[in-house]
Every structure is written in structure tokens, then in C-alpha cells.
Amino acid sequence: MNGDYHASRLTEDHRRGAVWVALWRYVFRHRIAADACVLDLGAGYGDFINSVTARRRIAVDTWAGLADHVAPGVEALVTPVTDLGAIADDSVDFAFASNLFEHLPQDAFVLALREIARTLSPRGTLTILQPNYRYAFREYFDDYTHVAVYSHISLADLLTAHGWDVTEVRPRFLPLTVKSRLPVWPWLIAAYLASPFKPMGKQMLVVARPR
């Protein structure tokens, strides 16, 4: 239905990988234990999961090219996020979804939340990074596969309504896209993350755990 999305909208870009390496260094390595099982939902080219150091790494996507892009040691599962039957109950410590749920109808999102909750361990959390419509409304539908709209408020409310406790909300976490001429130098990313001011900050970060 979406055609060749990876050849049009989501082309491979080395800058995306550089951003995730920096995000691992400055953010996520402080949130993910070495003995954790990490699940990357909608993993795409594997930029996030490939940067992670953890006991077990699992990448999920409907894209058949997933296995060709994840690093050695990463388990690649070609399946929708609404069907995580290949992943055992209570086995995932850190679930992550970047720029995923805006592509799903809300009923599919809710079903995915049930599946994710089933896989999470007692210490498990879900971290969501995606466009914040409140700040990205001008560009939001430039991506023709966006079908759902969320702000940091509506996303947190939806999670709460479906049995999750929201523990962290950052309305302006990152710029919207790497499709710009802005440099992706690690020191610049570190400075941006540390700054209380977020020019062009149009992606939100939301963390939650099953209630």
C-alpha cells in the first residue's frame, strides 16, 4: 500500500547512523543496562539497535530488507509490531520505537501496546521518539505514510488510558529529521541535548511502563 517507502521517503543516509551513535553515547547508554534485552520496534535500517551494547538485541520491522542492515548479533524479526508472538513474555527490558506509531491507525497502535506490554519484564519500559504534531504540523504530512496525529499531551493521555504509567515526557527532544544541511557532529548533538533551548525541536520523547 505504501509502495517502495525505503526508495522514496526513507532512503539510506549515513548521517542517520551518525546521529544514533551520538544518541547512544550521550543518552541511551545511561538508560540501558549491559544485561538488558533491547527491542527496537520499526527498526528500519537498524541505526538505533546497531549502536546499542546489551546482552540481547532484537529488531522488528515489516521490511524484508531488515536482516541485511542489522549488525552481527542482532536478531531480525520481519513481522508487524501488532504480532510479537516470537518474543517471549516478560523477556524485554527496554522497548524502543522511533518514528513508528504515527504510521499506524490508532487501533493498531493500541494492539501493539498490548503486545509490547506482554513482552516487557518487571523492569521493562517503552521509550517512544516521534514527531510532536504541536511543533511539526507544517511538515507532518510531507510523509505520505503518516496516518495518526499525536502531540506530547495526546500521546501521554493515550498511553495512560490504555494501562500505562507515563514516567517521562520531553516535548522537544530532537529536530524532526536528518534531511537537512545541518551537520551531525557528535559534539554539536551533545550540546543540543544539554541545552534548555531546543531550536527546531519537533520530535518528542515519551517513556512509559505498563501499570
CATH of the domain at 66: 3.40.50.150
Check residue 19 and give its pLDDT: 84
- CA dist list (Å): 94 to 17, 23, 119: 20, 15, 10
Check residue 185 and give its pLDDT: 66
CB neighbours of residue 22 within 10 Å: 20
What is the tally of structural domains in the chain?
A: 1
The C-alpha cell at 31 is: 538508560
Check residue 197 and give its pLDDT: 78
Q: What gap in Å lies between CA 37 and CA 113, rounded to an integer?
A: 18
Check residue 175 and give its pLDDT: 87
Check residue 198 and give its pLDDT: 80
Of 163, 36, 41, nearest to 99 (Cα)?
41
The domain of 125 spans 5-210
Check residue 8 and give its pLDDT: 46
Whether this model's pTM surpasses 0.85: yes
Check residue 9 and give its pLDDT: 45
Q: Do the strands 92-98 and 201-210 form a parallel or antiparallel pair, or are they unpaired?
A: unpaired
Place of cell 544541511: 181
Check residue 181 and give its pLDDT: 56
Check residue 155 and give its pLDDT: 98
What angle, rounded to 10 degrees, do the helices at 14-26 and 186-194 form? 50
The C-alpha cell at 119 is: 513482552
**pLDDT, mean of each 10-residue run, the chain (211 residues):** 51 70 93 98 96 98 95 97 98 97 98 98 98 95 95 98 98 74 68 80 96 94
